[in-house]
A and B are shown apart, each in its own frame.
Chain A
Amino acid sequence: MLRYIAKRVIAAILTLLVLVTVVFFLVRLMPGEPFTSAKLTPVVAENMQKYYGFDKPLAVQYVQYLKNLLHGDFGYSMKYTNRTVNDIIAATFPFSADLGIRALVTAISFGLVFGIISALNRGNKIDFICVIIAIIGTSVPDFIMGAFLQYFFGIRWGLLPVAQYKGFSYTILPTMSLAFYTLASVSRIMRASMLEVVNQDYIKTARAKGLSSFRITTRHQIRNAIMPVITILGPTVAAVLTGTFVVESIFAIPGMGKYYVDSVSTNDYSMILGMTVFYGSFLVLCNLLVDILYGIVDPRVRIGGKAGEAP
């Protein structure tokens, strides 16, 4: 088991190194410059290049960047002069994370419940409603959902704040907009998986043994049906995190999304790199945890290499 974890950790670190290297050189290939003011004179441009060390050879800059990275230093932003990328991440990530976690918790809990209820009531009205919700959720993009919720709940009926993020009531609409897609897909997968499990032999056996249907559902059906949902959790975290970009913009939430998108359009090299490395590490970490979790839950994964041996 330890060997398995060590292997995974080394793979994660290598992934990150490749990410940093590729992004570092790719941003320099982007058309344009980070200093894009219409009024930039050549003298000023030269001073700016020197200030950020762009006058040195690219290889030197790369080594310097890696050195700084070891200390966790992403450097100063080029657009937001006087502010470090670390500062900006520290100020904005809590908002993105807060929104992301809320959306994930909402999506998974509601999604599972809808899926289960739907499967248990297969073919009747409740199932129909749940399926409709799932179809709407997977087919309506979050920016439409956000604008829609904002218009009705915020402006038309005045029930909830239109935008910003200053308290619980402010979080409801953005959470709903962001959670809806994931909620729908979780509920669809859970429903399908429940229905698949219900015909398995062990369920029939349990029923034959005379267990109550309540026990069968809770102890046998749900436990086995939930596996596919765990499988999609990794990609779901990524989807929710990237989804925050749009939702943050609609609801004027001061999260990371705007800075990330902006940095790309303004060629803010240090910001693009810093944010990519940060997000990248986050996702690599999530996948690492999922991998390890898998190893713990399912012994076949960690001894994958020796499949031929007897257990």
Chain B
Amino acid sequence: MKNKILCVILTAALAATLFGCGVYEGSDTAPEPIGAEAIGEEPGVSGAVSESLASETPNGGEKIFRYSELQEPTTLDPNKAKCILDNEVAHMTQECLVRNTAGKIEPGIAESWEISDDGLVYTFHLRDAKWSDGESIKAEDFVYGLQRLMDPATASEYAFIGEYVKNGAAVESGEKAPEELGIKAPDDKTVEITLDVATPYFLSLMGSSAQYSPIRKDIVEKYGNDFAATAEKNVYSGPFMITRTADGQIIFAKNPNYWNAGAIKLDGAELNCIAEGNTAVAMYESGELDFVKLPTETVVNYDDIDHEYMNGNEDYFYINEKSDNKILNNKNFRMALNYGLDRNTYIKLATDGVYSPCNALVMPLVSGAEKTYGEEYTVSSYPLDGDMARAQEFLKKAMEEEGFSDPSDIRVEITTTDAEASKKIAEVAQELWTQALGITITIRQVTYADIYGSVLPNGDYEIGYAGWGPDYSDPYTYLELFKSDSPYNYSNYENAEVDKCLNASRTETDAKKRMDLLNKAEQVILDDAALVPLQYRQQHYLLNDAFSGLNFYFCSINTDWTYADKAL
């Protein structure tokens, strides 16, 4: 009997522990919102910010776009942006000379510009525009921004994006001083950029590359290495400003000083960094998010209500032509690999049909001479279903040339990363190739850090699974992967004709002729079977119906909610 009393007492004590314990006290508010108090005191942020901060839960008349990403931005310093997400955040918060909205070039801080006849000198005329702290945006801010990008002391991982500007490469390698870079400010309202070679896609590239953002020298000097480390340690020139970075969130508020504030409908946005894709989907389901990207394995569950866009990423098997395994240097063998892969079956098995099969090198959505490259040009390539009879023919020739009598004596190794999806891709290819060709394929897994850190650059592989995302909307961004002197030539591919076409394209000023050259280069690369193209990546997403006006793009910026609006 007494023991029963004891049980009751213990249970009561337990309840008391739970609700009365010090740990739980006052915890109905989140753990200290780090940095929040600091915002009001900072000179850079106006009073409006603190007010919008107060209403953290978006409701009532506020138009707040709540979305999630698997990663969190690696930096808020536009010069140092090094991934799509970094670039997107800077695209929302900074305004370059021009703005690239899903491929359309719009005036940014420059209201007009002229391009010299030789395509080398761009003269931009700036409008009256202000930073979020009320200072005028001056031509000098653009000059400083670009000089800082190329300065080796800044150590921006994406500095190469500025190599188009005259002396860019020399400044980057420390041979010339940043002041010698081809960008000048003759007066406060004029920016003059001189390029190394005429680059038809320069405006498009500049409008989608955060690295070209204006940067305020006084702010950089004030914070030094901590510049842009948190919301208040930078000022903003774009449609939105960052008001808070803490608790796994980035909070944006409309920038009242933005020159085109009238075109901006949202009051703000909330970026939630949620590493677990399924958790983000669950939050969308329970109404806590307005936009979520679907993890590929859940796409099947949302067949009717999801949307999709091409994110520009293309996956390939690179073939190392300087590998010790001589068979890979045999064109007929590489042809056999390409014809022996039924890409439609591959896509179903390896990606549940979420991505689209691909048999080309250049993504068709990039700009051609006038329309898209895909509308203007086609390449002849391996059939998507494969062609097993032809594959056998190629294999037979290759075996004769290399002195093999039994296909199973041919051993090749696929190197892939240890991510589950990459592993599956290698396994499906292994299975399909073994069936079609009877060759022996092994799989080696390395870490992601290792793939780009040593495996690909050092040519320490035979067949390597990797992907490529475009930096600008032009076939060159893909073709460069097979230029013999390119740092991205992971296949150690060398073809004089490809090099000739690509070099000629850099000086050709006629858009149509230039595109012909690029198309020819692509055709040669495919005829050589220099790679095994696998798939175009499609991103599936869920979007709250109340939102409209989102733009999706395949270069540098995927989700662009600058002009998004919410129906109240």
Whole-angstrom distance between the alpha carbons of A265 and B449 in the complex? 7
- Contact partner of B488 (CB less than 8 A), chosen from A31, A39, A87, A113, is A39
Residue of A nearest to B34 (CB): A91
Whole-angstrom distance between the alpha carbons of A213 and B1 in the complex? 9
Which residues 129-172 of B sit at the A interface, judged by CB distance below 8 A?
Answer: 152-153, 155-160, 169, 172
- In the complex, whether A278 has a CB less than 8 A from a CB of chain B is no
- On whether A82 and B75 interact (CB within 8 A), knowing A36-B449, A38-B468, A94-B31, the answer reads yes
- On whether A109 and B225 interact (CB within 8 A), knowing A51-B155, A162-B279, A167-B30, the answer reads no
- Contact partner of A36 (CB less than 8 A), chosen from B17, B249, B452, is B452
Whole-angstrom distance between the alpha carbons of A205 and B31 in the complex? 52
Question: Number of residues in A with C-beta < 8 Å to the partner?
Answer: 77
The answer to whether B448 touches A39, judged by C-beta atoms less than 8 angstroms apart, is no
A-side contacts of B159, CB under 8 Å: 43-44, 47
Residue of A nearest to B1 (CB): A213
- In the complex, whether B28 has a CB less than 8 A from a CB of chain A is yes
The answer to whether B279 touches A163, judged by C-beta atoms less than 8 angstroms apart, is yes
Residue of A nearest to B456 (CB): A38
A interface footprint on B19-63 (CB within 8 Å = 1, 0 otherwise): 001011001111110100000000000000000000000000000
Which residues 38-97 of B sit at the A interface, judged by CB distance below 8 A?
Answer: 74-77, 80, 82-83
Residue of B nearest to A40 (CB): B157
- In the complex, whether A110 has a CB less than 8 A from a CB of chain B is yes
Which residues 271-299 of B sit at the A interface, judged by CB distance below 8 A?
Answer: 272-276, 278-280, 282-283, 285-286, 288
B-side contacts of A37, CB under 8 Å: 82-83, 157-158, 452
- In the complex, whether B229 has a CB less than 8 A from a CB of chain A is yes
A interface footprint on B424-458 (CB within 8 Å = 1, 0 otherwise): 00000000000000000000001111111110000
The answer to whether A32 touches B274, judged by C-beta atoms less than 8 angstroms apart, is no
Whole-angstrom distance between the alpha carbons of A80 and B80 in the complex? 10
The answer to whether B276 touches A94, judged by C-beta atoms less than 8 angstroms apart, is no
B interface footprint on A26-45 (CB within 8 Å = 1, 0 otherwise): 00001111111111111110
A-side contacts of B34, CB under 8 Å: 90-91
- Contact partner of B282 (CB less than 8 A), chosen from A39, A83, A154, is A154
Residue of B nearest to A93 (CB): B31
Whole-angstrom distance between the alpha carbons of A126 and B3 in the complex? 13
The answer to whether A91 touches B74, judged by C-beta atoms less than 8 angstroms apart, is no
The answer to whether B282 touches A155, judged by C-beta atoms less than 8 angstroms apart, is yes
B interface footprint on A87-131 (CB within 8 Å = 1, 0 otherwise): 100110011001001100110011001001100110000100000
- Minimum Cβ distance to chain A for residue B277 (Å): 11
The answer to whether B449 touches A163, judged by C-beta atoms less than 8 angstroms apart, is no
Q: With contacts A40-B452, A81-B82, A162-B279 known, what are 7 further pairs, Cβ within 8 A? A: A38-B467, A82-B75, A82-B228, A84-B229, A151-B282, A164-B272, A167-B30
What would be 15 A-B contacts, judged by CB atoms less than 8 Å apart? A32-B447, A38-B452, A43-B160, A44-B158, A44-B159, A87-B229, A101-B23, A102-B23, A106-B18, A121-B7, A155-B282, A162-B282, A163-B283, A166-B30, A249-B276
